[in-house]
Structure 1
Amino acid sequence: MHARPSTTPRHPLGACAAALAGLLLAACASVDVNDADLFVRHQQPMEAGWLAQAQARAAESGAGLEQVQFRSADGTLLGGLFLRQPGARLTAVYFQGAGNIVQRSYPALLRDASQLPLNALFWDYRGMGLSEGVGGTPQLMADAQAAVREARRLSGEALPLAYWGFSLGTLVSAHLARELPPDALLLEGALTTAQAWAENQVPWYAKPFVSIRLADTVRGYDNHQALRELRRPTLMLVGSLDPASPPAFTHSLAQAMQHRDSCLRVVEVPEVAHGGALRKPEGLAAARAWLERGAARQGC
């Protein structure tokens, strides 16, 4: 669920880790993680001219970038950026890691997306960045469906549609894929369950002293169930050095997929931590092959 390296989310689990480092184990013996803890609005003001800088960066590769707004089913206004690249073979809806907002993460997002022939919608979860409202998992699926509708409107119905999830975004995109299957699914640094992720963040020396209590709405996200029967070309990328979403998570999900032999490819990218798999030749080659399969709507 962690953000890409440029952003670190703040929530009780992080506070607990800091307390543990200060040997305050008794004060952090039980950690409650609620919906609101995963979707915390950044209070720091954004740098003036960030959009112009993002557009200039996109233009370096001949792409267009526009700020967009769209409404979820309950009328809440959501926002993001839409990248339109020449020669795009499909359109991807990107699902971010926890704590990320497009105003801060756009350099990494554009760098990764520019290596693939696709259009992409990068959007902020409700209550964060360019999106209004109060964040929480109960609204995630409705908001994600609204993002899909907006991506289709912007890119047209002719291009195939893919979901591209990172960290926390793999939970969102995989559960959306079960309800509204895309033409292809890309998961980076995949999570198995919210509970497993939370427990993995606790240092080994503190595990006997610390328990994690997730809100029921958060605990209900389980990618084993979401991916079990999926029949869409799926690529899972994971860094061999990923401490937040270790390779064991990805391999566990792979074993749970009933159609893994025909639908799934797993690539463990060496010398990569949490994020950055597409900046290595192994990850990029796998993503390009996945994209071509999705663009052809070959299915599996």
Structure 2
Amino acid sequence: MRFLFALISIFSLSACQTYVVRDLDLIRPDYLTGYKTKEVFDAEKLNKTLPEARLKEEVISANQMNSEIVQIKGLSVVLPEAKTTVLYFGGNLTHVDENAPHLSKIAASCPVNFATFDYRGYGRSNGQPDALVLKDDSLRIYDHVRAKISGKLVVHGFSLGSFMAAYIAANRSVDGLVLEGSSTYPDELVNAQIPWYFKPFVTVTVSDNLKTISNTQAVSNFVGKVLVITGEKDTSTPAYLGRALFESIPSQEKEYIMVPNGTHNNLMSNPQVQVSYCKLVQ
């Protein structure tokens, strides 16, 4: 989002203009960021937190428009005592090898199995992402995990991943939904980043691809268990957007938590969040 804000700031210097936010302004694969994996998460690292857990590397094959064979890679972790699996979709600029240690700590607090995958062009996965293909991939990933497990399957989406999680909830049966650092529509998220003093000089809209993504629409018929988590001081996805999303969910089994002084990246460390999260996934 900092990249996008820089573009808008520069663009606004040229008087009244319209800026169209495209997929790769919000979705930042590794070739654009220069990301390199520092440390691969493996069974040895897993067992330091979860001694009896089993790790498996996962691969899902798909196609790119140019006929390239894409391998969407991730991992799954199984605990002997767990009866629920959490399918986790990370935020933009996050990767399996950084998310897995974080998920292992959560699993140690309330025993759950978990699975997580890198988006196309991120970390372990090859290919080229865009908004439409990430939606399709989210269903591929869900179907892959659902076919391999028994018991409950809860979908947890953080930031960018919340759009994948909500899309799954609209198109598949899930046993619970967690939306962390989430938003309503991409255009509302983008406009929330524009300082008031730029708004007279620049009009921002989003691409046709991004217009097909709507968390509000995706959850409009959801009646299952759902937890929406926002941070009071989250400048990436302001709390009022998460609250608006929560209000649009018709479920009677929903809970909203705004973490006091919470930022975009520390919400799961809050004790209240941990209690509610464990309650939902059990």
When normalised by structure 2's length, the TM-score is 0.87
User: Which consecutive segments of 4 or more residues in structure 1 shift more than 6 A?
Assistant: none
Write the distance in 2 (CA, Å) between the matches of 1:195 and 1:68: 33
Give the aligned partner of residue 237 of structure 1.
Answer: 229
1:190 is paired with a residue whose SS is coil
- After superposition, residues 8-23 of structure 1 pair within 5 angstroms as 11=3, 13-16=4-7, 19=10
Q: 1:36 to 1:246 in 2, by over 3 A?
A: closer
Alignment-derived partner of residue 101 in structure 1: 95
Deviations 1:251-273 (A, max 9, x none): 212222233xx221111121211
- CA shift, 1:28, in A, is 9.4
Q: Which moved more, 1:262-271 or 1:177-186?
A: 262-271
Q: Which runs of 5+ in 1 are unaligned?
A: 3-9, 293-300
Q: Secondary structure at the match of 2:41?
A: helix
What is the aligned counterpart of 1:213 among 205, 210, 217? 205
| TM-aligned CA deviation for residue 25 of structure 1 | 2.3
Q: CA deviation at 1:193?
A: 0.5
> Does residue 111 of structure 1 match 2:98?
no
Unaligned segments of structure 2, at least 5 residues: none
In 1: Cα distance, 2:74 partner to 2:144 partner: 10
- 1:206 aligned counterpart, secondary structure: coil
What percentage of aligned pairs have identical amino acids? 26
The letter of the residue matching 2:22 is: N
Match of 2:22 among 6, 9, 34: 34
How far apart, in 1, do the equivalents of 2:158 and 2:212 lie?
A: 19
Residue identity opposite 2:13 in structure 1: L
Contact 1:192 1:223 in 2 (8 A): yes
1:153 CA displacement: 4.3
| 1:126-181 Cα shifts (integer Å, max 9, x gaps) | 22221121101121232112211332344x2x211111001111111111111112
Given residue 286 of structure 1, which amino acid in structure 2 is its aligned partner?
S
Question: Separation in 1 of the partners of 2:176 and 2:167?
Answer: 14
Contact 1:170 1:188 (C-alpha < 8 Å) held by counterparts:
yes
SS of equivalent to 1:176: helix
Matched, 1:46 2:37: yes
1:99 offset after TM fit, Å? 2.0
The more displaced of 119-128 and 102-111 is 102-111
Q: Which residue of 2 aligns with 1:88?
A: 82
Change (3 A) 1:271 1:235: same
Distance, in Å, in 2 between the alignment partners of 1:19 and 1:111 is 41
- TM-score between the two structures when normalised by the length of structure 1: 0.82
**Alignment match of 1:201 (pick from 170, 193, 196):** 193
Are 2:96 and 2:117, in contact at CA under 8 Å, matched by a contact in 1? yes
What root-mean-square deviation, in Å, do the aligned CA atoms of Structure 1 and Structure 2 show? 2.4
